Structure 1
Amino acid sequence: MSAEEEKYDGLLLAIAEKHKDGISEFLNTIASFLRRKTDFFTGARQDQWESLLMTVFQKQYDLAMKINTSIKNERIDERADDKKKVAHASKVEIGRQEDIPIDEISEQINEQEEGSEKDEIGKLKPNAGNGCTFDNYSWTQTLQEVEIKIPIKNSSSLRAKDVSVIIGKSSLLVGLKGQEPILNGTLCAEIKQEDSVWVLQDNKTILITLEKVNKMNWWDRLVTTDLPISTRKINPEPSKLSDLDGETRSLVEKMMYDQRQKELGLPTSEDKQKMEILEKFKSQHPEMDFSKCKFS
């Protein structure tokens, strides 16, 4: 089934949902539209528009029968293949059934969940500020900005002129003048240079605030050479979300939800809405076959 053929499915399904009396009422609406808004009936002889209708519906009927036959053949092949596998398994010495490890069965049942967990291997747990803490520096984040703290050890009388900070659009270099940089790399995402600042705090800590360009995504690392954190485990403070206006907050919460659903291989909010419409229509029209209906 081509994308061109499916592009009106959502619209047609929404229209069909409003026809409580079934397919005949739906087809009557289409015929009524052709009568009122076009010359479909009056612009040709009766035998011509009847022939056109029969040609269109015959084509769709032939396709439906072809697909239905193909599905039946696939099921027959699958059953035959299953029988072969069972017959083969019966010939293999596998020992007593009670010797099969329970954890192997659990592993098969939870295959999808474990698949998503594999993606988390090697990722660090976010710190309390939804960032990460390293030996030389730490960083935290909100959806709007990133804050970096770099403590300078054994320097109680450090002055701003001793510090070198270069903030680029997508890069950051921090260190003491005349020494190797403490932090030097490509940022996870672009920032607004004009709104990003740094200060020397208590003569011993360099504090940098970076303004994000994209305020709808969480960073999974500060610079590209860092190990990533698990953005699935980020928990934004409710007070931060409450600072947003209602419309922006709803959008942010929806995007966060959809991002996590995609990472888990689960339906997004839009996918769920489409499925709810389909399920409602299916319940209203049990006489119709929706086995091949899907949304891309």
Structure 2
Amino acid sequence: MQIFFFSFTMGNNKHDQLFLEILKEDRSIVTFLDSVFGFLYRCTDFYQHQNDSQKIGFPAGVANEVVQKMFLRYEKQTQYEKQAAILGNIASSNSNIPSACQEVVVSDNADMDVQSTVESKGEGAVEGQTLKSEEKDCSEIYNGDDRGNYRWSQTIHDIDVFIPVKKDIRKAKQLKVKIDSLHLKVETLQPNGSCILIDHTFPHKVKPDECLWSLVGEHVQVNLEKKEEQWWDRLFSSDPPIDTKKIDTVVMASELSQEEHMKIEELMVNQEKRQQFSSAI
């Protein structure tokens, strides 16, 4: 199947009003979900199994894995928000207790071998752009860069790449996207031949099996899952480095791993015990 589910950032609510109208009509979550999966059955090749004789659809088991991944993602988000609320309540009740944001600042800038100058390999390439721009959508270059023919943003866990395409590219089957652990290739498939949009090597490894892409409007959106949690100073090895001093290294509570949340909970319990002991004296 060529239409993959893109891993949108948390908080994307541009379709909420439409979904609310459908939910009001269906009157239950179960009926709403039945409508969604029924739509996928009737109007897409979501349930088709891709094989040597059939190029459409997903390989066996992949569609189920995508649905499961999305469910677990928002289930974890719910758990993290509850824990973040607890952290906020404890922090506000005692000014001496540092906030969750102060507790989980992550930065590995010291481990980065950031070059001050880089010879660009791309024709017509320019120096690294400012991380945030008032003229363009900052979310698309958050902790990343605008390279003209593509933009990218990152968290400590993953990277989103936005690649503009021509208006006549309206269907995912007009695209060919290949993601390897150290390489990304994106090309358009047209009657007069293919056109390569991206064909570059990453400076660090990604997890190809957990990377997703989709055609949204006039952009190809690619989500890359980093193999290691670290800040990248460039998307491709041939890119000039961004100013890593401007990277927002604060990790919100909703982005923490389960292990990190357990450590914070342990600190909270220990702090509460110390407060109770002090009050008893």
Give the TM-score range, shorter chain.
Answer: 0.3 to 0.5
What is the TM-score normalised by the length of structure 1? Answer: 0.39
More relative contact order, 1 or 2 (CA 8 Å, 6+ apart): 2
What is the TM-score normalised by the length of structure 2? Answer: 0.41
Higher relative helix content: 1
